[in-house]
A and B are shown apart, each in its own frame.
Chain A
Amino acid sequence: MEKLRITLGAVSRPLESLKVKTGDWGAEYPVVIEENCKACGDCVVYCPDLCIELVETGEVDEKGRKKKVAKVNYDYCKGCGTCSVVCRHEAIKMEIKELYKG
């Protein structure tokens, strides 16, 4: 059967929210301490703004596996601190933005 196509009212395109940069919302920002990061991915599953990924460092570990670390996309991070709180390896600490210091 031919596919139905009905377009009534307002139709949005997928993921248009990506053009809304929410990175300037917060007063704090997370810093990943790479040597502590075990790439467990906890911060990734919790981040409400979907702005942390595990990325390859380019190095390999003792067992020959490609090393990964958490990387924050500051375009969208709202500085909520969730990643820092859920990290079990003390690999993410929150810092105050320059603008809000003093």
Chain B
Amino acid sequence: MKLFGSGHGACPGCGLPIAVKSVLEGTGPCFVANATGCLEIISSQYGKSAWGVPYIHSVFENSAAVAAGIEAALKALGRKDEGPVVVFAGDGATADIGIGCLSGMFDRGHDVLYVCLDNEAYQNTGNQQSGLTPPGSNTTTTPAGKVLPGKVKPKKDMVSIALAHKARYVATASVAFPRDITRKAKRALEFEGPKYLQIHSVCVTGWGIAGKQAIPVARLAVETALYPLVEYEDGQLVRVRKIKDRKPVEEYLKPQRRFRHLFKHPKGKEVIAELQRIADENAKKYGLDE
């Protein structure tokens, strides 16, 4: 039986199902706890579930706590051999509203793989900024106009936050590289304890691109070093995805409606320069340039 199936309600070209099926390909049958958000809405309406694995949705902020409870129960019942426990939660659910529950799950050392589906805003409610929205992005709560050039603050560094909790395996991935997601999900499960995998996932509606641009745009995020793909094991950086001929950030920004204003806004140049500085810093920090 498939672990995730057709007939779900995601927008054509959405990255979420690519991320989910690639993770499940790596984990095999597992217990899934899902936070409120697009994935939950598109896959779990009553009578229309797209899941082929045990699945629970509770509320927006508590998926890490729900997963921790499932893991503790499986342990107490001697049923850990029935499969790993996996969380799927959006960037808003992870970096903002659910960060307390996530911190607790990490801190108590639960044997859980936590997957953050990072589409860089609260997309299910129509593109509001989250802690993982990048600078310059035009969202309904950071509207580009006379006052703002889009979001001002940088992306919250969830990788460092996970590492500071001594999560055993911490990695980033992208829907542009599904086989890499599968490998990372599989690798994560070799570590007993909390694991964090953050997957850059295209939202065609929120980012303002056509379905067929989804994968090329996701690829550009990696090729510009705005979304570095890194892997830590027990606190050590063990692998990164190298970049051949790193591209200027404009190439990633231009096709997306959420960044379009940057090319005419009086503060646009400044924001683009800031994004380029972030990309350069990523490349240096992780040694991305080949």
- Residue ranges of A at the interface with B (Cβ–Cβ < 8 Å): 1, 3-4, 10, 12-22, 25-26, 45-46, 48-51, 73, 75-76, 78-82, 84-86, 94
A-B CB proximity, top 8 nearest:
A81-B212, A80-B211, A17-B7, A80-B12, A12-B49, A76-B6, A78-B12, A17-B50
Least Cβ–Cβ distance between B91 and chain A, in angstroms? 18
- Contact: B178 with A45, CB < 8 Å? yes
Q: Which residues of B contact A13 (CB under 8 A)?
A: 49
- Contact: A48 with B17, CB < 8 Å? yes
- Contact: B212 with A20, CB < 8 Å? no
Q: Does B216 make an interface contact (CB < 8 A)?
A: yes
**Could you say which of B10, B12, B216 contacts A85, with CB atoms under 8 Å apart?**
B216
- Contact: B212 with A17, CB < 8 Å? no
- Contact: A85 with B215, CB < 8 Å? yes
- Residue ranges of B at the interface with A (Cβ–Cβ < 8 Å): 1-2, 4-10, 12-18, 21-22, 43-44, 46-53, 55, 73, 77-79, 178-179, 210-212, 214-216
Secondary structure at the A interface, as helix, strand, loop or mixed, is loop
Least Cβ–Cβ distance between A11 and chain B, in angstroms? 9
Q: Which residues of A contact B4 (CB under 8 A)?
A: 50
Other than the given A16-B49, A22-B7, A81-B211, 9 more pairs (CB < 8 A) read A14-B52, A14-B53, A20-B48, A22-B9, A45-B178, A48-B14, A75-B6, A78-B211, A84-B212
Known: A15-B51, A46-B18. A26 touches B215 (CB 8 A): no
- Contact: A17 with B43, CB < 8 Å? yes
- Can you list 28 contacts pairing A with B, beta carbon distance less than 8 Å? A1-B78, A12-B44, A12-B46, A12-B48, A14-B1, A14-B53, A15-B2, A15-B7, A16-B49, A17-B7, A17-B48, A18-B6, A20-B8, A20-B9, A48-B12, A48-B14, A48-B18, A49-B17, A78-B13, A79-B12, A79-B211, A80-B13, A81-B13, A81-B210, A81-B212, A84-B212, A85-B215, A85-B216
